[in-house]
Chains A and B, each alone.
Chain A
Amino acid sequence: MAHEVASGMGGIRTAGDLVLRLQLSKSMKIHDAKKYVADKLGITPLELSDCVIMAEIREDLNLGRPMPPDRTAKGIEAKFRIAQLLGIKINSVERFKTKAGLS
């Protein structure tokens, strides 16, 4: 908790999960990963960690939220959208497609 308060992006409260995905899939350093995600979202890297701005963006794009209301994308549903938005493969999404007979 102390890390999140002092220095954390905040996961799905903001764009932390999206930035982490770029580090994990493309070995991007923090500023490159932030710029990549910010460009995809059409905002500045500074705004990626703003939970008010990102709450609206996550709602508009249906990317998964901390308190998701009914009829919104949750879990794997949100990850389908994230993979498409970021232009990356997400392993669980690919597995889902295979197991569901979608690919």
Chain B
Amino acid sequence: MSKFFTRMGDGFGIYLSEEEIRADIEEGTKDAADRAQIPQLSKEEMDHLYDIVTMPGIVVGVERGQEVVTTSDSGGCKISYHCNIAIDRSTAILIHEKVLGADSLDLGHIDYSYKAVKSVLHDEAAMMELTQLNSVIPVLYGSMPNLGLYTKPDGPVDNWAELLPLGRIDEARAAQEEAVEHAVKDIVYVAEGMYEAGADGMNIDTSGASGDADVLAALKAIEIIKQKFPDLGIEMGMAGEFILGMHGKLEYDGVRLAGLYPHNQVKLAEKAGANIFGAVVNTNSNMSFPWNIARTVTFVKACTEAANIPVHVNVGMGVGGVPMCEVPPVDVVTRADKALIEIGKADGL
């Protein structure tokens, strides 16, 4: 019996038979459907996904006409800080524009948190101004709400991660609610500076990294930014497929945030005023690529069907069906792209 090369969720190569791949695809879509109470992939969609997984060639691509656009998170930092190449971020953005074919990029500080950016906004804004003079592609400013930074000793509020194990639930909740207000002020403050600097938009990225309060901060900030600057584009990117209930009772527009999956998250992003939603589905490194991509596409398809705004799926290390490894293999990255666009109907990556 012939076997096909594919990978595990940690990136290591494996060989699976047709029966094993089909079984993993069925299990993956079932897992997503059970968790989020959404439809499984149809027989035709699973057949298409099987074809994508087993397609010959290292690199595969979408059908002509199905190409999509890309946004980024910490895009301006990839070449400069992450690769340790001694260029400034503005130059990195021009390389992405002119050499790498990016459709947009976000400028961001290496700390990539609104709280950290607040104190250096004048320098960040000047960098945005210079970047905007030289670039043609849309350039956003990106950072995370990163609510954890507001806890003592670095921040003003008590640390809910310390209070919760002690059973001090009410105090932990109060601390998170206070942190939300601080974060909203910082995000709006940075957005004001970036609007004046000519930014094409704000990327409120990795929302939910500290749980439901983190998401609430993002949504409230987006609402205020849109009231102040209706023309400023907003992308809301998520931290994970599922909003963790670190608080548990927080609501936005009457909807409890804890436990929401992408197809419900996107509706709140729309309500707040986001223009683009960055959906995230986590990769399970103990399961195969066919399992992970089937699961991811199931979540994404439900999200794009629910959305009235474009959905850009996060497709990187450990998300979007891509294995959790530092150097993602192009064989599975390109297969993930094709599946997310052709079956999941993603509007961008």
Q: Residues of A with Cβ closer than 8 Å to B?
A: 1-13, 16-17, 19-21, 23-30, 33, 45-46, 49, 63-64, 66-67, 74-76, 78-79, 82, 89-92, 94-96
Contacts and interface: CB of A to CB of B under 8 A. Distances in A.
Contact of B231 (A25, A33, A76): A25
A11 B102 contact: yes
B310 A27 contact: yes
Contacts of B69: 8-9, 16, 19-20, 23, 30, 33
Contacts of B61: 5-7
A9 B341 CA distance: 13
Contacts of B346: 30
B310 A33 contact: yes
B38 interface: no
A27 B262 CA distance: 18
Q: Which residue of B60, B103, B104, B315 has the most chain A CB atoms within 10 A of its CB atom?
A: B103
Contacts of B197: 95
A4 B100 contact: yes
Given A5-B61, A8-B103, A23 B275 contact: yes
Contact of A66 (B59, B62, B65, B98): B98
A2 B337 contact: yes
Contacts of A33: 69, 310
A20 B102 CA distance: 10
Interface in B121-138: 129, 132-138
Contacts of B341: 7
B330 to A, nearest CB: 4
Given A17-B104, A21-B138, A95-B197, A27 B62 contact: no
Interface string B131-151: 011111110100000000000
Q: Which residue of A6, A21, A27, A67 has the most chain B CB atoms within 10 A of its CB atom?
A: A6
Q: Which residue of B61, B65, B309, B334 has the most chain A CB atoms within 10 A of its CB atom?
A: B65
Nearest to A24: B233
A20 B99 CA distance: 18
B310 A3 contact: no
A96 to B, nearest CB: 7
A23 B98 contact: no
Given A4-B102, A19-B69, A79-B136, 4 more contacts: A12-B98, A23-B275, A24-B201, A91-B198
B333 A6 contact: yes
Nearest to A21: B138
B338 A27 contact: no
A19 B321 CA distance: 25
A7 B338 contact: yes
A35 B129 CA distance: 31
Interface in B83-101: 96-101
Nearest to A17: B137
Given A23-B276, A27-B308, A79-B136, A6 B62 contact: yes
Nearest to B63: A7
A8 B101 contact: yes
